[in-house]
Amino acid sequence: MFIESAFAQGTTAAAPDPFTGLLIPMLLMVLIFYFLVIRPQSQRAAQHREMVEKVRRGDTVVTSGGMIGKVTKVSEGSDEIEVELSDALRVRILKSTLMDVRAKGEPVKETA
Sequential pLDDT tens for the chain (112 residues): 555 555 555 555 555 677 777 888 899 999 999 999 999 999 999 999 999 988 999 999 999 999 999 999 998 888 999 999 999 999 999 999 999 998 775 555 666 5
Report the Cα–Cα distance between both ends of the chain, in Å, rounded: 77
The CA distance from 31 to 23, in Å, is 12
Position 22 scores a pLDDT of 86
Entry pTM: 0.65
Rg for the chain (alpha carbons), in Å?
29
Position 95 scores a pLDDT of 92
Position 104 scores a pLDDT of 72
Position 50 scores a pLDDT of 92
Position 21 scores a pLDDT of 79
**What b-and-e string marks burial along 25-43, b requiring 16 or more CB atoms within 10 Å of the CB?**
eeeeeeeeeeeeeeeeeee
Position 110 scores a pLDDT of 62
